[in-house]
Amino acid sequence: MEPVSESFIMGIDEAGRGPVLGPLVYACCACQAARLQELEATGVRDSKKLSAQCRERIFQTLGENADWIYSRTRILSPEMLSATMLGRKRVNLNETSYAATISLVKDALSSGMFIEGLFVDTVGEPDAYQMRLKRIFPKIPRIVVQSEAESRFAVVAAASIIAKVTRDKALRTWTFPEEANDPQLRFSREYGSGYPADPLTQRWLRKHLDPIFGFPSIVRFSWSTCSRILEKECVQVDWPEEDSTSGALLPFIMRRKNHSPGPCGCAFLEAAHVRRLVVDEPPPLPVPTPKLVPAKRPTRRRPDCAKRSRVERKSVSKPSSRRDQKRA
């Protein structure tokens, strides 16, 4: 869609926040404010209340009207979610969701769109989230953050459909990098809804669990469901720790360091009692002090004109008395 000057109404929603498998997808949908009723006429509703065939049909309709309907997505991979939630500088899921929402709005504004109203399905406390968006986007006249916004605003319902269809397609066509490395390794695509309470998902997790390397890349390691399975059914790893009798891998990765790293600069090396080897270096050779030689005083040379004038003065005899002056 080309940037235009009309006013737009935008909605933002996500799909896949709770599942233990697959990506988390954030989507935005914006339509011209004057054509909001046309968007409602497409049959947009909360994606959870629609069948898969109905979601696909509406998704295709939204794409066919790209001249007045704007849509974008942010796909957050399972590896990215696990890395941010288990990394040294942890980022919780709410902060990751805030960043995805803000980036979607910034992209729309940078395309020249004027957003008259922004409606967002809440993450966390709605009022605090709403104030945060108002501080970041003070030029948007109306910003509303509510729970279950997909059931109240057509643009948010459209965004939920876009996010849901995008996530379902990603799961159906998921490419396992582990299969590329081992031609004999094959993972089943029958993993159910991906939610931890789904029995089909639970069976898939236990079936494809490696006792040493854990789960495939489609799994979010940071979810508590995965943590419990890893602790119970994987090989125990004994890590050299002074202050703990537990040899589990996950607590070592997830625990926070209350002290700064020592001379090695690495917490793991400090825990393994590895110390930096310092080799005594020979003292540096003394630097000879340069001798100070007094500078010669430069001789002043008179210019040639001064020499000529001095010769001329000598050639003229100077009268010694007044009588000689009169004779001259």
Amino acid 57 reads: R
Angle among Cα 13, 16, 19 to the nearest 5 degrees reads 150
- Count other C-beta atoms under 10 Å from residue 125's C-beta: 12
Is 192 found in the same domain as 111?
no
Domain boundary at 172, 198, 223, which?
172
264 class by beta-carbon count within 10 Å (0-12 exposed, 13-18 middle, 19+ buried) = middle
CB of 201 closer than 8 Å to CB of 195: yes
Count: domains in the chain: 2
Q: Which residues lie across from 11 on neighbouring strands?
A: 29, 119
Nearest residue to 132 via CA among 168, 169, 94: 94
CB of 62 closer than 8 Å to CB of 47: no
Q: What's residue 322's pLDDT?
A: 56
How many Å apart are CA 81 and CA 89, to the nearest integer?
Answer: 13
Is 34 found in the same domain as 90?
yes
Residue 120 lies in a domain: yes
- Count other C-beta atoms under 10 Å from residue 112's C-beta: 10
Q: What's residue 112's pLDDT?
A: 93
How many Å apart are CA 21 and CA 153, to the nearest integer?
Answer: 28
Is 28 found in the same domain as 161?
yes
Domain boundary at 271, 290, 311, which?
271
Amino acid 116 reads: E
Q: What's residue 232's pLDDT?
A: 85
Q: What's residue 60's pLDDT?
A: 96
Q: List CB contacts of 92: < 8 A, sequence separation 6 or more.
A: 85
Is 144 found in the same domain as 13?
yes
Q: What's residue 299's pLDDT?
A: 62
Is 62 found in the same domain as 157?
yes
CB of 30 closer than 8 Å to CB of 10: yes
Q: What's residue 120's pLDDT?
A: 97
Q: What's residue 21's pLDDT?
A: 93
180 class by beta-carbon count within 10 Å (0-12 exposed, 13-18 middle, 19+ buried) = exposed
Residue 113 lies in a domain: yes
Domain encompassing residue 112: 7-172
Residue 195 lies in a domain: yes
The DSSP line for 55-119 is: HHHHHHHHHHTTTTEEEEEEEE-HHHHHHHHHSSS---HHHHHHHHHHHHHHHHHHTT-EEEEEE
Query: Would you give per-residue pLDDT tens digits along the chain (328 residues)?
Result: 544 568 999 999 999 999 999 999 999 999 999 999 999 999 999 999 999 999 999 999 999 999 999 999 999 999 999 889 888 888 899 999 999 999 999 999 999 999 999 999 999 899 999 999 999 999 999 999 999 999 999 999 999 999 999 999 999 999 888 888 887 888 888 888 888 889 999 999 999 998 888 899 999 988 888 888 888 888 887 766 555 444 555 555 555 444 455 555 555 556 555 555 555 556 666 666 666 666 666 666 655 555 555 555 555 555 555 555 555 5
Residue 237's CATH number: 1.10.10.460
